[in-house]
């Protein structure tokens, strides 16, 4: 599919996983911000109840989305998707794995410091990296271009091969 034939609907649908991943990461880092800014126990307990509902009911949703996108689009043998679609879906999947790794490292390194300025600054740095990468991908999709992120793009090309020049 040539760059000019990429529809607005296709671009919109490709942006949705990035937005979902971004929201998921914001929710995951939210307790650190609460611990540093909520002063009353009542507010803390209310926020804790909301986060427990999310954690117990939706914690596997990103992983189900990951599996569905990989099997349904990247490795689909029922319908052939364009290289542009496969590339950006695979980029999201690798980026999702990177986000999970970054979050897990943060939690393990900062577990005892969540309610300190160290934990807060670590959360801000990690969340900023995730947000900037996701926003860059969203902008590139909206412009109909391929995103190039060092190491992450290399992992995508290992799975799909490099047909970016043929597709532009």
Q: Would you call 81 helix, strand, or coil by DSSP?
A: coil
Q: The whole model's pTM is what? A: 0.79
pLDDT value at residue 4: 47
Q: Does residue 91 surpass a pLDDT of 90?
A: yes
With beta carbons less than 8 A apart as the criterion, state whether 153 and 147 touch. Answer: yes
Rounded-to-integer distance, Cα 63 and Cα 83, Å: 23
CB distance 88 to 147 below 8 Å: yes
The residues, ordered by sequence, that sit 6+ positions from 12 with a Cβ below 8 Å of its Cβ are: none
pLDDT of 57 above 60:
yes
Q: How confident is the model at residue 1 (pLDDT cuts 50, 70, 90)?
A: very low
Which helix (DSSP H) or strand (DSSP E) does residue 12 occupy? helix 8-37
What is the C-alpha to C-alpha distance for residues 71 and 34, in angstroms, rounded to an integer?
A: 37
What percent of the chain lies above the pLDDT cut of 90? Answer: 21
- The Cα–Cα gap between 96 and 92 comes to 6
In this prediction, residues 121-130 reach a mean pLDDT of 91
């Amino acid at each position: 599919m040539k760059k000019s034939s990429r529809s607005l609907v296709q671009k919109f649908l490709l942006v949705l996983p990035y937005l979902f991943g971004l929201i998921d990461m914001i929710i995951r880092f939210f307790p650190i911000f609460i611990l540093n800014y909520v002063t009353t126990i009542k507010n803390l307990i209310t926020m804790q109840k909301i986060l427990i509902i999310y954690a117990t009911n939706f914690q596997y949703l990103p992983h189900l989305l990951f599996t569905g996108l990989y099997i349904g689009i990247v490795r689909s043998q029922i319908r052939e998707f364009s290289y542009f679609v496969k590339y950006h879906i695979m980029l999201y999947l690798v980026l999702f794995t990177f986000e999970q790794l970054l979050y897990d490292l943060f939690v393990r390194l900062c577990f005892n410091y969540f309610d300190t300025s160290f934990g807060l600054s670590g959360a801000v740095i990690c969340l900023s990296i995730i947000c900037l990468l996701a926003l860059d991908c969203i902008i590139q999709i909206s412009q109909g271009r391929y995103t190039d992120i060092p190491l992450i793009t290399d992992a995508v090309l290992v799975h799909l091969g490099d047909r970016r020049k043929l597709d532009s």
